[in-house]
Chains A and B, each alone.
Chain A
Amino acid sequence: MKRLAAITAVAVISTASACGGAGGSAGSDVYTTIDGAKQIDATAPINPFNPQGNTFLGYDAMSLAWPKNDPVDPNRFYPGIAATWTVTPDQGEVVVRLQPAARWSDGKPVTSEDVRTSIGLAYTQGGTAYAVDPKAAGSAADVQVLDAKTVKVTQGANKSNLFLRNVLSTVVVPAHVFGGLLPADFWATLKAARGSGPAAEKAKTAITGLAQKVISFAPAKDVSAGPFVLERVNPGEALLVRNKYFYANQNVAPERVKVLNYTGNQQIWNYLISGKLDSAPFTAVPTDVLNRIRQTQGNEVRKGFSPVAVSMAFNQTHKPYDNVHVRRALAYLIDRSQVTKVASPEAGTPAETTTGIHAKSAKSWLGDGLGDLDAYQVNPAKAAQELKAAGMTQQGGKWAMPDGSPWQVEIHVPASFSDWVSAAKAITSQLNDHGIDASVITAADYTLYLDELSSGRYDIGFWLMALGPSPYNIFQRIYGSANGWQLLAGQLTRVPPGTQGNWMGGPETLDGVNPGTLTGRLNAVSPEEQRRIVGMLAKVTNQELPVIQLYDYVNTQFVSTTRYTGWPSADSDVLRLPAGVWMQLGMIKKGGR
Chain B
Amino acid sequence: MNTVRRLTGHLARGIAMIWVVTTISFVIIRNIPGDPVMGQYEKLIEQGMAPDQAERATAALYGFLPTGSLWDQYVGYLNGLIHLDLGQSLSTPGAGVATIIGSAAKWTILPVLGGTLLSFLLGVTMGVYAAIKRSGKLGDVLSISGSLLHGVPQYVIGLLVTAIFTTLWPILPAGGPVDIEYVPGFNAGYLVSLVQHATLPVLTYALASYGGWILAMKSSVATVLGDDFILAAELRGLKRGVLFRYIARNAILPLFTILALSLGMLFGGAIFIETIFNYPGLGLLLVNSIGARDYALMGGTFLVITVAVVAANIAADLMYAVIDPRVRSGGAA
Contact = CB atoms under 8 A, between A and B. Distances in A.
B142 to A, nearest CB: 16
A239 B33 CA distance: 37
A166 B52 contact: yes
A263 interface: yes
Interface residues of B, number: 71
B214 interface: no
B47 to A, nearest CB: 6
A264 B275 contact: yes
A51 B58 contact: yes
Contact of B174 (A21, A217, A271): A271
Given A51-B57, A236-B280, A44 B39 contact: no
Contact of B162 (A18, A262, A270, A307): A270
Contact of A451 (B38, B179, B292): B38
A262 B278 CA distance: 6
Interface in B275-312: 275, 278-280, 284, 288, 290-293
Contacts of B179: 25, 237
A441 interface: no
B126 to A, nearest CB: 14
A448 B100 CA distance: 24
B28 to A, nearest CB: 14
A233 B179 CA distance: 10
Contact of B293 (A52, A260, A447): A447
A212 interface: yes
Given A212-B60, A447-B34, A451-B34, A22 B48 contact: no
A518 interface: no
Which residue of A51, A211, A446, A473 has the most chain B CB atoms within 10 A of its CB atom? A51
B170 A448 contact: no
Interface string B256-277: 0000000000000000000100
B171 interface: yes
B94 interface: yes
Contacts of B292: 447
Contact of A215 (B36, B94, B172): B94
Interface in B19-68: 33-36, 38-40, 42-53, 55-61, 63-64
B107 interface: yes
Interface string A263-281: 1100100110110100000
A140 to B, nearest CB: 13
Nearest to A416: B291
A52 B34 CA distance: 20
Contacts of B184: 232, 234
Contact of B196 (A18, A45, A211, A467): A18
A577 to B, nearest CB: 11
Contacts of B177: 234-236
B192 interface: yes
A551 B178 CA distance: 40
B72 to A, nearest CB: 19
B180 A258 contact: yes
Contacts of B288: 39, 263
B56 A274 contact: no
Given A44-B92, A447-B38, A51 B61 contact: yes
A263 B275 contact: yes
Nearest to B177: A236
A37 interface: yes
A464 B51 contact: no
Nearest to B199: A15
A445 interface: yes
Given A15-B196, A162-B52, A446-B39, A263 B278 contact: yes
Contact of A52 (B49, B50, B93): B93
Interface in A111-132: 122, 124-128, 130
Contact of A41 (B51, B53, B92): B92
Contacts of A211: 59-60, 63
Contacts of A18: 192, 196
Contacts of A126: 55-56, 59-60
B103 A448 contact: no
B294 to A, nearest CB: 11
B166 interface: yes
A17 B172 CA distance: 9
Contacts of B92: 41, 43-44, 50, 52
Given A23-B170, A36-B47, A467-B51, A445 B291 contact: yes
Given A162-B52, A267-B175, A215 B33 contact: no
A127 B166 contact: no
Contacts of A233: 180
Contacts of A464: 42, 45-46
Contact of B91 (A24, A52, A234): A52
Nearest to A470: B50
A218 interface: yes
B35 A450 contact: yes
Contacts of B99: 43
A387 interface: no
Contacts of B63: 211-212, 215
Most buried by B among A166, A237, A260, A308: A237
A224 interface: no
B34 A212 contact: no
B176 A236 contact: yes
A196 interface: no
Contacts of B174: 22-23, 267, 270-271, 274, 276
A436 B311 CA distance: 57
Interface string A440-457: 000001111011101000
B118 to A, nearest CB: 13
Q: Which 5 A-B pairs have the closest CB atoms?
A: A216-B94, A236-B176, A127-B56, A235-B280, A23-B170
5 contacts: A18-B192, A43-B92, A43-B99, A237-B176, A258-B181
Interface of B: 33-36, 38-40, 42-53, 55-61, 63-64, 88, 91-95, 99-100, 103-104, 107, 162, 166-167, 170-181, 183-184, 192, 195-197, 199, 275, 278-280, 284, 288, 290-293
Interface of A: 15-19, 21-25, 30, 36-37, 39, 41-45, 49-52, 122, 124-128, 130, 162, 166, 169, 211-212, 214-218, 232-239, 256, 258, 260-264, 267, 270-271, 273-274, 276, 282, 306-308, 445-448, 450-452, 454, 464, 467, 470, 473, 476-477, 480, 555, 576
